[in-house]
A and B are shown apart, each in its own frame.
Chain A
Amino acid sequence: MWQWLHPYAKPEATFHLVQKLLPWFLIPGLILSAVALVWGLAIAPQDYQQGESYRIIFVHVPAAMWSMGFYVAMAIAGLLALVWQIRTAELALLAIAPVGAVLTFISLFTGALWGQPMWGTWWVWDARLTAQLILLFLYLGVMALYIAFEDERAGAKAASILALVGVINIPIIHYSVYWWNTLHQQSTVTRAITRLEAPSIAPEMLYPLLVSIVAMMLVSAVLVMKRLNNEILRREIHRPWALTYLGIPVVQRNEE
C-alpha cells in the first residue's frame, strides 16, 4: 500500500519531487495571498461590534490553524524518522520546525494586537493562550534539541521524540475553549464547517477567511519545501546528481 512512497526515502528522489511540486504551491499561494489580503482587508464589510479591528482575523486565524497543522506534519515526520529511520524525514522535521514556530509566533503576536483593543488586555493566562504559548516552546525545543547533540543523528532522534510527544498539545489547544471557560472565544471556522446551516460568521467575511487559510497553507508549504531542498542539497553536495543539478561538471578523480 505504501510501496509508492519507498523511493522517496532517497533524498535525491524527494528533491526532484519537491522541485516539481514547488511552482504548484508557489504561484497559487502568491495569487491567493493577494486575493485574501485585498478581499479581507478592503472589501469585506466591517463587524457590528469590532468595527475594522476584526480584520486581523484574516492573519490570526490562518496562522494559528497552520501552526497546529504543521506541528502535526512535523510529528509525522518524527514518527517516520524514529520508526523507519528515514533520513529525509529527519530533514523534513528540521525544515518544518522554524516555519511552524514563526506561524505560532504570528498567531500569538496578532492575538495580542487584537486582544488589546477588544478584550482590553494584551495577554491573559487562559487555557487557549497558554496552550498556544506551549506550542511555541515545543517548536523551539525541537529546534534546540536537534542541534544540541554532537552527533546529528542522535539530535534528530531526540527532536523526533519531543515532536511526537508534543502532539498531545494539539487537541488541548483546539478543545481548550470548549473544555474550560476562557477569555478566548470559541472557534468560528469549526462552527462554520460543522454547522453549515447556522454559521456564526457572515458569508462575505467567511469566504475571504477561507481563502486566507488556503493561502497561508500554500505559502508556508513553499517555505518548508525550499528549506527541505536546500538542506538536502547541502548534505548531498558532493554527490554527482547534486553537482549535475547545480551545473558543476563532475570531475572524475581516478588517481588517488
Chain B
Amino acid sequence: MNPRRKKRFIMTSGILGGVAIATALVLYALSQNIDLFYTPTEIIDGKGSEQVRPEVGQRIRVGGLVVPGSVRREGSGLTVSFNLIDTGPAEIIVDFEGILPDLFREGQGIVAQGVLIEPNRLLASEVLARHDEEYMPPALAEALKGIEHVPPSQWSDDDYRNNDKDDDNESGGGYDR
C-alpha cells in the first residue's frame, strides 16, 4: 500500500474504531433501559446488580410465560386475569380488559403493558403475544410438544370457566390446582 493510501486507511479505521467504541459504551451504559420489559423475577427480586424494583404506580411492561391453568375470566365481559412466570418462583398477576391477541394461550410468551397496582399485580392496558422462532405444521406440534393452538377468539366457554372455580384465590399460581 502506498503511504497516502496507508494514511487514509489508518484514518478511516480510526474513525470507525472510535465510533464503534463510543457506540459500545453507550449501549453498555443503557443496556438495562434497552430491554423492552421486566421479567416477573426482576419485579419481585429487583433488576441488575443494584436490585432496582419498579414501584407501585409505575407504568411498566412485564414479559413472561402464561402460567398453565391460571387464566380466569371475571364475569361475562372481556375482563381476564392470568399469571406470568419466567424462571420462577416469582409470578406476576395481570388483569386485563380487552381482546387477547390470537397467539395467546397457556404457556405462551406474553408482554403486558400497564400500571403496577400491587407489588405483584399489573393492571394491563395492552397485552401483546410474543412467539418463539419455532415454525411447524399443526400435526407435528401436537406430536412433538402436545400443543394444539386455539386462538382466544375461538375458545369455548368451558375452556376458561374451568379455571373460574376458585377465583377468590388471587395469590395466583396455577400449578397445584
B-contacting residues of A (Cβ < 8 Å)?
45-50, 54, 57, 79, 82-85, 117-121, 124-127, 161, 164-165, 167-168, 172, 179-183, 185-188, 191, 200-202, 204-205
Contact = CB atoms under 8 A, between A and B. Distances in A.
A200 B132 contact: yes
A119 B8 contact: no
A47 B36 CA distance: 26
B16 A164 contact: yes
Contacts of B51: none
A124 B129 CA distance: 12
B27 to A, nearest CB: 7
Given A49-B149, A168-B23, A179-B31, A202 B140 contact: yes
A84 to B, nearest CB: 6
Interface string B100-126: 011101000001000000000000001
Given A47-B137, A202-B136, A118 B36 contact: no
Nearest to B134: A200
B78 interface: no
Nearest to A209: B135
Contact of B134 (A57, A161, A181, A201): A201
B133 A186 contact: yes
A48 B147 CA distance: 8
B111 A118 contact: no
Contacts of A186: 132-133
